[in-house]
Structure 1
Amino acid sequence: MTLTIPDEVRAKAEIYVGDAAGQEKTRLLLHETGLPSGLLPLKDIIECGYVEETGFVWLKQARKVDHYFAGAGRHVSYAAEVSAVAEQGRLKKITGVKAKEMLIWVTLHEICVDDPPTGKLHCKAIGGLSRTFPVEAFEAEGPPPVFTPRNAPCAAAAAVNGGGQAAAGGKAEEKVGDAVAEKEAAKAEEQEKKADEEANAAGDDGVGKVEEKLKEMSTAEVAAHAEAVAAKN
């Protein structure tokens, strides 16, 4: 059965295209509603849509996926198109999900956890059949994903923007560093010039003193010579 999303529903929805964005949104939705992170192990997601106002969510993947939850000992089949209404601790009005019970497949219409939490997850099928499993049996393997805050740019865009900001910051710091260096160089040059002027002034003063000393010496020699001539006469 093809899942048709009316235009008025799409107009109100957050729509994520591609597997990476779809996987991130799916995990984030499960996290926000308090459901185990591996409950929707879809692959090659084409589109994920979510209407926050009503909780309606739909997922379209490239093909049907059959998954075995070892912790629960159950095979679960996810159609190429899956939908549900998400509430806190609950997915209800589910379409496109079946679980294998003994030798037959039963259609699930609701999956929920207890509130307050008891560590149990309940799967309810059409016809009144219900089964209870430990929540950890449906947790995804590996480290938890890093979620992008709602209404924030995607991770790639944030990385690009962050890189641009870092580069801009680096250039700004570089300009500030250049300005400081130029200021210090000018200051050093000014100090060097002042030192040269002082040295030159000191040198001129020294020369003046030497010349004055020579003049004094010459005068003394002239006086001595005059005294010697007077004595001889």
Structure 2
Amino acid sequence: MSNPKLQSILLLLLLSLSPFLLAAGDSIHSLLVDHGLPAGLLPRSVSNFSLDPATGLLSVRLDRPCLAEYDRKSPIHFDQLIQANLTYGGLRAVTGLSQEELFLWLPVKEICVPDPSSGVIFFDIGVARKQLSASIFENPPDCKPEGDRKVFNDVSRLNFREYDERKKDQ
């Protein structure tokens, strides 16, 4: 190819497509880390994802809707499709993610790590902004099928019953 004009056009085309190629070839978990977020915010069962570098829109598709438990207090439900605007240190306008809080499933609207060195992550669930240790999100969790939501609720109730019984015995 000796035509410099054609070479320039091909180079420009390749450069403009490179963000899409990088996002497609990289793992979602390393993409999160590159943006100052813990790798374990999303489960292992991600089947594919895309990132629009112009808008920051991140779309993540899982094999199926599922539940993950990071800490024993509040499981997280993932829809099959999760979307958010990815910025450094944050996922904003999140859809497809909800967290159980006081026996209610509330949508997660935003996740942010304002200072990665602080070890703190914030979840905005609409009615509250939860502060959690970022360390519980270091590793991508295994996700259980959505039908296990009842099991999570039963286990939570069992733990409360056991606690109440122990308290009565003291």
TM-score by length of 2: 0.65
Mark the runs of 5 or more structure 1 residues left unpaired by the alignment.
1-10, 142-233
Q: Distance in 2 between matches of 1:98 and 1:56?
A: 19
Query: Residues 44, 114 of structure 1: CA spacing in aligned structure 2 closer, same or farther, 3 A cutoff?
Result: closer
Partner of 2:106: 106
Query: Residues 135, 97 of structure 1: CA spacing in aligned structure 2 closer, same or farther, 3 A cutoff?
Result: same
Say whether residues 1:95 and 2:95 are aligned partners: yes
Q: Distance in 2 between matches of 1:58 and 1:139?
A: 21
Partner of 1:50: 51
Aligned-partner residue type, residue 76 of structure 1: I
Aligned residues with identical type, % of pairs: 23
**What's the offset of the Cα at 1:49?**
0.8
Partner of 1:123: 123
User: Displaced runs of 4+ in structure 1, greater than 2 A?
Assistant: 11-17, 114-117
Aligned length: 124
Mark the runs of 5 or more structure 2 residues left unpaired by the alignment.
1-16, 141-170
* Structure with greater helix percent: 1
| Native 8 Å contact 1:82 1:95 kept in 2 | yes
Partner of 1:34: 36
**What's the offset of the Cα at 1:74?**
2.2
Aligned-partner residue type, residue 118 of structure 1: S
**What's the offset of the Cα at 1:83?**
0.4
Q: Distance in 2 between matches of 1:132 and 1:95?
A: 20
Say whether residues 1:138 and 2:137 are aligned partners: yes
**What's the offset of the Cα at 1:118?**
1.3
| Native 8 Å contact 1:42 1:78 kept in 2 | no
The structure with higher relative contact order (CA 8 Å, sep 6+) is 2
* Structure with greater strand percent: 2
Aligned-partner residue type, residue 62 of structure 2: Q
Partner of 1:75: 75
Q: CA RMSD in A?
A: 2.5
Q: Distance in 1 between matches of 2:104 and 2:18?
A: 38
| SS of residue paired to 2:40 | coil
Deviations 1:49-83 (A, max 9, x none): 1111221110112210100003x632001100110
Query: Residues 12, 110 of structure 1: CA spacing in aligned structure 2 closer, same or farther, 3 A cutoff?
Result: farther
**What's the offset of the Cα at 1:114?**
2.2
Say whether residues 1:14 and 2:13 are aligned partners: no
Q: Distance in 1 between matches of 2:56 and 2:18?
A: 11
**What's the offset of the Cα at 1:113?**
1.0
Q: Distance in 2 between matches of 1:96 and 1:57?
A: 12
**What's the offset of the Cα at 1:116?**
6.2
Partner of 2:14: none
